[in-house]
C-alpha cells in the first residue's frame, strides 16, 4: 500500500532529530502534520517500543497505525516510497560517505549537544525553563516549574548515556571545537557538506546545530569565538534551500549541484 499523506509525527523543537526530519520533509516537499505534546497525538495512537522523538505514525499492511522511530531508516523509507528531490546519492560510494557523515551527526555530534545542555549551569537553567514550555506553553507557571525540575534531574542523570562525565568532558568539548574549525574551512568553499546541494548528512548535522548553535548558550558562545560566523549561517542557508527547486537554480543542471560528484 502507498504511504499515507500527510505524514503524522510527534516531536519537539528542542529535539535535534525532530528538527532533522522537519527540515528533510520540507526540502523534499512532503506534506506532514507535526504534533507537539501527547495531548495532540491522541490516546488512540500506538506507543513506540522506545519513547524517542520524533515518533512517526505510519500505517502497516493491515491499515493500522504503527509508531516508528529512528530518523535514518525513516529517511530511506521515504526515499523509496515518495519520489522527488532526493537527498540520497545514486552512486554507492557517495551514498556511503553521505551515510557516514549523517551517522557522525546523529551519533557523535549529539554527544556534544547533550553534554553542553546538561553539564553547564547556564545551559541547564535554560533547557529546564524552555523545553517544557515548547510542549505546553499554556500550562500554569507552577506546573512548568515542576516540569523544569523533573527534566533537569532526569537529563543530568542520563549524561552517562552519551558517555559524558568528568573524564570524557574534555574529549567531547575538544571534538566539538575541531568540528567547528573543519566546518568553517569547508563552508569557505561550498554551502553544504558534499557540494552545492544538501544530502541527508546535511540534515543530520543541521538538526544538532539547531541546538548547539541556535539554542544552548555555551556551545553557541564557543561557536562564535572559534570561527568567523560562517557556521551559524549553515542552518540559515539550509533553511533557504528548503524552498528551492532544481529548476529555480538559475538554470544550473542537477548534475552540477554537487561539486565534482555528478552521480549525486
Q: What percent of the chain has pLDDT over 70?
A: 83
Question: How high is the pLDDT of residue 134?
Answer: 87
If asked whether residues 37 and 102 sit together in one domain, one would say no
**What is the rounded average pLDDT for all residues in the chain?**
86
244 in any annotated domain: yes
1 in any annotated domain: no
If asked whether residues 18 and 138 sit together in one domain, one would say no
Rounded to whole angstroms, how far apart are CA atoms 144 and 50? 25
If asked whether residues 226 and 111 sit together in one domain, one would say yes
Q: Residue range 111-133: average pLDDT?
A: 96
pTM of the model: 0.86
Number of domains, the chain: 2
Range of the domain at 158: 92-256
Pair 144, 133: CB distance under 8 Å: yes
Q: Which of 66-70, 88-92, 134-138, 152-156 has the lowest mean pLDDT?
A: 134-138
Which of 58, 81, 104 is at the close of a domain? 81
Q: Residue range 196-214: average pLDDT?
A: 94
55 in any annotated domain: yes
Question: How high is the pLDDT of residue 136?
Answer: 82
If asked whether residues 63 and 102 sit together in one domain, one would say no
pLDDT, tens digit, for every residue of 63-98? 999 999 999 999 999 999 999 999 999 999 999 999
**pLDDT bucket at 118, cuts 50 / 70 / 90:** very high
Residues in contact with 185: Cβ distance below 8 Å, sequence separation at least 6, in sequence order:
none
**pLDDT bucket at 234, cuts 50 / 70 / 90:** low
Cis peptide before 176 (omega within 30 of 0): no
Whether the pLDDT of residue 238 is over 70: the answer is no
If asked whether residues 18 and 58 sit together in one domain, one would say yes
CATH number at residue 33: 3.40.30.10
CATH number at residue 115: 1.20.1050.10
263 in any annotated domain: no
Amino acid at each position: 500500500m502507498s504511504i499515507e499523506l500527510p505524514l503524522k509525527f510527534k516531536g519537539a523543537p528542542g529535539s535535534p532529530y525532530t528538527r532533522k526530519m522537519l527540515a528533510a520533509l520540507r526540502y523534499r516537499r512532503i506534506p506532514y502534520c507535526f504534533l507537539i505534546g501527547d495531548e495532540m497525538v491522541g490516546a488512540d495512537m500506538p506507543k513506540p517500543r522506545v519513547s524517542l522523538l520524533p515518533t512517526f505514525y505510519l500505517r502497516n499492511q493491515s491499515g493500522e497505525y504503527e509508531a516508528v522511530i529512528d530518523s535514518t531508516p525513516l529517511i530511506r523509507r521515504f526515499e523509496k516510497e515518495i519520489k522527488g528531490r532526493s537527498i540520497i546519492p545514486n552512486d554507492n560510494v557517495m551514498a556511503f560517505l553521505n551515510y557516514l557523515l549523517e551517522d557522525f551527526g546523529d551519533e557523535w555530534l549529539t554527544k556534544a549537544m547533550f553534554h553542553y545542555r546538561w553539564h553547564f549551569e547556564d545551559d541547564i537553567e535554560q533547557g529546564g525553563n524552555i523545553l517544557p514550555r515548547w510542549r505546553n506553553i499554556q500550562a500554569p507557571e507552577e506546573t512548568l516549574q515542576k516540569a523544569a525540575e523533573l527534566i533537569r534531574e532526569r537529563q543530568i542523570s542520563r549524561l552517562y548515556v552519551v558517555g559524558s562525565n568528568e573524564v570524557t568532558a574534555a574529549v567531547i568539548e575538544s571534538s566539538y571545537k575541531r568540528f567547528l574549525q573543519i566546518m568553517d574551512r569547508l563552508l569557505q568553499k561550498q554551502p553544504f557538506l558534499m557540494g552545492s546541494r544538501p544530502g541527508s548528512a546535511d540534515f543530520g548535522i543541521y538538526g544538532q546545530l539547531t541546538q548547539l548553535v541556535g539554542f544552548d548558550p555555551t556551545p553557541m558562545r564557543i561557536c562564535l569565538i572559534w570561527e568567523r560566523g560562517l557556521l551559524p549561517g549553515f542552518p540559515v542557508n539550509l533553511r533557504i534551500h528548503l524552498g528551492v527547486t532544481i529548476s529555480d537554480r538559475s538554470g544550473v543542471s542537477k548534475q552540477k549541484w554537487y561539486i565534482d560528484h555528478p552521480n549525486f
